[in-house]
Structure 1
């Protein structure tokens, strides 16, 4: 099956007063039709910058390059007009914080209808009917009455549902969700995740879900790409990644979350010392080596890719030692 989105050697550089910041450093991945790929990692690893680069929403100081960047067979780097025809239509994005993504000066109805009228050349009545249908689809009651409300009149969970409905107005084939549950409490978070899974099942949408929450990944992912310091350091099916993480960074992330039924109450969770390194200037070897308990002098050299089954990872170790140094 041909991937709906294909990315090879994607790089995003930003000019800063201190030099060039290499926010995304040569990442590659594919997303199949109807698949959920989760992009995970700490804040500052380049996840959101990856999403913005796919949508063509990078700041003016950014430069995007790639060997391949295609969506449904179309080259996203060739024409900004072509990208603008696809954006909001065939590919859509759910932003991290709906209160800042929604325009406070316009009603929910106006904001939902705008994208449909622009891309589908529909009448106001047709766009309104579509908006009501999707608000009901995402679980909002009294949908017709909600159209006249403003974002500040809705709760965080309702605003996020409006954002999801807005992204679905034109029936996209790809949905990019940038940490859609971060600002929500656990109950609403579970509802949003269940909603995304139901929408994918009913509509066949492919999803690129960006998150730092491995609990979210375990619920929804088909495949996972672990990102660190602007690079993908490991990728695998969700089952393989949780069963046998290969990269030290992946292991550190998994050790930092409790396992239901296995982690005793009150037990201290694992942690990863240090912080993500600066990506200004050149980065050589393994960017994780200064935080890694398995690091060796050769980690400063070029690190090869290894693969077993569905898993690919970038590390000098084929199998990690049982105990870190």
Structure 2
């Protein structure tokens, strides 16, 4: 049985202009020890999807789904108390910006220890020892001294490592990392990604990585879900998606990345014209068609999911035209 199963997840947000359909019927599953990367432009619904899994959506947001199951527990019917027992314990989240996620009024040690004492019957010494152990595990030196420091006394890279240690305090089965490297420089990004991959292997966790960086995905993901305008337009094994992208949007994202040995220095990189459409109101047909070089009249109708190979799903009716141009 899969650790996490999501079927037909919908997130609607009422606004003065109408209902914003932020996420429209996405489905995926995740096994223990796997890494699923969900990629796409800003505004595609990636972060809201992760918040929906943790039941942390804004109050006005309305979550519906045929199924959201975590290790057999139905997250659509679970009580608020039951969800609190899972959240931070068996399901943990690394948020996008640690400076706004860590409480500036409490020390690093207090916040790390609280994550454990809320879910386990442990002494203060045991919680402190666990916090020191995990800070060392994530590469923070002088960990016992760091426990007495406040978030503003740490660099961005150290704060992100603290967030990872906090997520690991209870030994979760699933970690959701929402753009964990966005605010960091390239060198620290690589360190954080290697750290998450190493810790995953050591602790056997499943990981959902939310990102817009396909270079990141290529290094760490087992499976990829490409998200556009609230829908998953292509899903499959990372190797298959990168080797044979079957959706025009996926190809457009990949064309934006320079390829060593193939991209000529000084040559302009690919770009996707236009912008993500307004998601208020009903959206007919393929949401990408106004930006797509392969669009045809049929793109304005219902778009069925094609299965070009096992466990590789594509929401596109122009896939043969795209492949012919490859």
Judge same fold: TM > 0.5, yes or no.
yes
CA separation in 2, counterparts of 1:102 and 1:169? 15
Name the residue aligned to 1:82.
82
CA separation in 1, counterparts of 2:191 and 2:203? 18
Name the residue aligned to 1:71.
70
Residue correspondences, number:
323
TM-score by length of 1: 0.98
CA separation in 2, counterparts of 1:65 and 1:303? 21
Q: How does 1:136-155 map onto structure 2 within 5 Å?
A: 136-155=136-155
Name the residue aligned to 2:37.
38
Name the residue aligned to 1:316.
317
How much does 1:122 deviate?
A: 1.6
TM-score by length of 2: 0.98
CA separation in 1, counterparts of 2:127 and 2:16? 45
How much does 1:228 deviate?
A: 0.2
How much does 1:318 deviate?
A: 3.5
CA contact (8 A) 1:104 1:152 kept: yes
Name the residue aligned to 2:289.
289
* C-alpha RMSD over aligned residues: 1.0
How much does 1:261 deviate?
A: 1.9
CA separation in 1, counterparts of 2:115 and 2:99? 18
CA separation in 1, counterparts of 2:61 and 2:114? 28
Q: How does 1:109-120 map onto structure 2 within 5 Å?
A: 109-120=109-120
CA separation in 2, counterparts of 1:297 and 1:320? 13
Name the residue aligned to 1:98.
98
CA contact (8 A) 2:36 2:221 kept: yes
CA separation in 1, counterparts of 2:36 and 2:297? 34
Unaligned runs of 5+ in 1: none
How much does 1:21 deviate?
A: 0.6
CA contact (8 A) 1:76 1:82 kept: no
Name the residue aligned to 1:273.
273
CA separation in 2, counterparts of 1:45 and 1:115? 31
Name the residue aligned to 2:13.
14
CA contact (8 A) 2:295 2:318 kept: no
Q: How does 1:144-183 map onto structure 2 within 5 Å?
A: 144-183=144-183
CA contact (8 A) 1:181 1:189 kept: yes
How much does 1:323 deviate?
A: 4.7
SS at match of 1:116: helix
1:157-202: CA deviation from partner (whole Å, max 9, x where unpaired):
0000000000000000000000000111111000001001100111
SS at match of 2:270: coil
CA separation in 1, counterparts of 2:64 and 2:138? 36
CA separation in 1, counterparts of 2:234 and 2:167? 29
How much does 1:41 deviate?
A: 0.2
Name the residue aligned to 2:217.
217
CA contact (8 A) 1:246 1:320 kept: no
